Copies of this chain bind each other. A is one copy, B any other.
Amino acid sequence: MSLDLSLTKSEEMLKSTTLDFLEREIPRETLEALLDSDTGTTETILKKVADIGWLGLIIPEEYGGIGYPLTTAGVLFEALGSWPLPGPYFSSGILGSQIVMEAGTEEQKQQLLPEVATGNIVLTLALTEPEYSWDPEGVKATASSDADGFVLNGVKLFTPDAQAATYFIVVARTDRGISLLVVEKKTAGVKLRRLPGFLAGRTFEVTFDSVKVPSSALLGTMDEGWKALEKAITRSIPVLCAYKVGGCQAIFDLALKYSRERVQFSQPIGRFQRVQDMIIEMITHADAARWTTYEALWKLDTQQPMAESVHLAKAVASEAYWQVCTLGHRVFSGVSYSMEHTVSFHTRTSRHLYNVLGEPSYHRQQIAARLLS
């Protein structure tokens, strides 16, 4: 067997430089401001992270990226999740670039990917709609083609990072199928509204009201966008899971430390069996998320059959992040209800990310179908 679960040298280095960067560039007050902002980032930060390669990490070298495997992206996003750093880095650098890779023509890849890597353009996927669904049947938005290109109509709901993005990858119905269109945010007829709610994250309602886009906006082949999109989503999911793994591990580490230091009834609370049980539950959630995630990444990187693994990782990691946050609040109790407490940061993030790219129930159903077929 060649079993080896350690990080490579370059992954170790990426991890430590990332944590150093966060320590240096994203102090607590900055993080709070970012979490409350509409974009989750700033021009300056975006420029800096592009410079150190986060946005082009998995984009092949020929398109201006570094060309790392997905596992390496997992290591990066685990570090980001530990903070938890918000921002459109996943939406653009991972999911966006993967959609372009899977769906785009050679010309489009050449044109878009280097721009994604430098942060000059920021992509986000606009897929779900008022009738929330991750299946193609959920797509009701239409793109009718005319001589000049397309006219786009519809509402995209729960669209993440819409304010930070400069371009949307819009999933829309065309004559005989589903197509992907790259639409600039500032096009006339595009309207954004951030969804209110403490746990809604930075998700938006994006309305397309007779939006005219040129023919060149069509990503790849007409009517055949869904398959490419599905593949790109599948490849991206475990990287998002790694972000949650980072969150789980960070809360566990914090709670473990707190349980050793916080004294109640004249002893560290970690001495109490009830607190121990929470700690044990937390690390088991965190480990379950970690290893399902990295196995899925490994399978993707080594071109093995992996559909079940990806669904597994998303189902497990989303649930784990949710539960670890809830348990974190129970270990910390009162102090963790502060908006400025790290557990609160994670709770808000975990609730929002629970649904992004499919909530556990969706992925569980995919697993059920595969187990019975």
Q: Which residues of B have CB within 8 Å of A272?
A: 273
Q: How far is the CB of A332 from chain B (nearest CB, A)?
A: 18
Tell me if A341 counts as interface (CB < 8 A to partner B): no
Residue of B nearest to A277 (CB): B274
Residue of B nearest to A275 (CB): B273
Residue of B nearest to A274 (CB): B273
Q: Which residues of B have CB within 8 Å of A277?
A: 274, 277
Contacts of A268-293 to chain B: CB distance below 8 A: 272-274, 277
Range for the number of chain A residues in contact with chain B: under 10
Distance between Cα atoms of A361 and B272 in the complex (Å): 37
Distance between Cα atoms of A273 and B265 in the complex (Å): 14
Q: Mask for A247-280, Cβ within 8 A of B = 1, else 0?
A: 0000000000000000000000000111001000
Distance between Cα atoms of A274 and B277 in the complex (Å): 8
Distance between Cα atoms of A274 and B274 in the complex (Å): 7
Q: How far is the CB of A166 from chain B (nearest CB, A)?
A: 44
Question: Copy number of this protein in the oligomer?
Answer: 2
Q: Which residues of B have CB within 8 Å of A273?
A: 272-274
Distance between Cα atoms of A272 and B272 in the complex (Å): 9
Q: How far is the CB of A42 from chain B (nearest CB, A)?
A: 47
Distance between Cα atoms of A277 and B272 in the complex (Å): 12
Distance between Cα atoms of A277 and B274 in the complex (Å): 8
Q: How far is the CB of A278 from chain B (nearest CB, A)?
A: 11
Q: How far is the CB of A311 from chain B (nearest CB, A)?
A: 24
Q: Which residues of B have CB within 8 Å of A274?
A: 273-274, 277
Distance between Cα atoms of A273 and B264 in the complex (Å): 15
Distance between Cα atoms of A272 and B274 in the complex (Å): 9
Residue of B nearest to A273 (CB): B273
Q: Mask for A307-348, Cβ within 8 A of B = 1, else 0?
A: 000000000000000000000000000000000000000000
Query: Which of A272, A273, A277 gathers the greatest number of chain B CB atoms within 10 Å?
Result: A273
Distance between Cα atoms of A357 and B272 in the complex (Å): 43
Distance between Cα atoms of A117 and B362 in the complex (Å): 54
Distance between Cα atoms of A272 and B271 in the complex (Å): 11
Q: How far is the CB of A358 from chain B (nearest CB, A)?
A: 23
Contacts of A41-57 to chain B: CB distance below 8 A: none
Distance between Cα atoms of A100 and B299 in the complex (Å): 63
Distance between Cα atoms of A313 and B274 in the complex (Å): 31
Q: How far is the CB of A268 from chain B (nearest CB, A)?
A: 15
Distance between Cα atoms of A98 and B335 in the complex (Å): 59
Distance between Cα atoms of A277 and B273 in the complex (Å): 10
Q: How far is the CB of A41 from chain B (nearest CB, A)?
A: 44
Distance between Cα atoms of A14 and B272 in the complex (Å): 45
Q: How far is the CB of A218 from chain B (nearest CB, A)?
A: 42
Q: How far is the CB of A368 from chain B (nearest CB, A)?
A: 15
Q: How far is the CB of A330 from chain B (nearest CB, A)?
A: 13
Contacts of A95-143 to chain B: CB distance below 8 A: none
Q: How far is the CB of A331 from chain B (nearest CB, A)?
A: 14
Q: How far is the CB of A259 from chain B (nearest CB, A)?
A: 14
Contacts of A159-183 to chain B: CB distance below 8 A: none
Q: How far is the CB of A277 from chain B (nearest CB, A)?
A: 7
Please list 6 pairs of residues, one from A and one from B, whose beta carbons are closer than 8 Å in the complex, sorted by A's number: A272-B273, A273-B273, A273-B274, A274-B274, A274-B277, A277-B277
The 6 A-B pairs with the shortest beta carbon distances in the complex, nearest first, are A273-B273, A273-B274, A272-B273, A274-B277, A277-B277, A274-B274
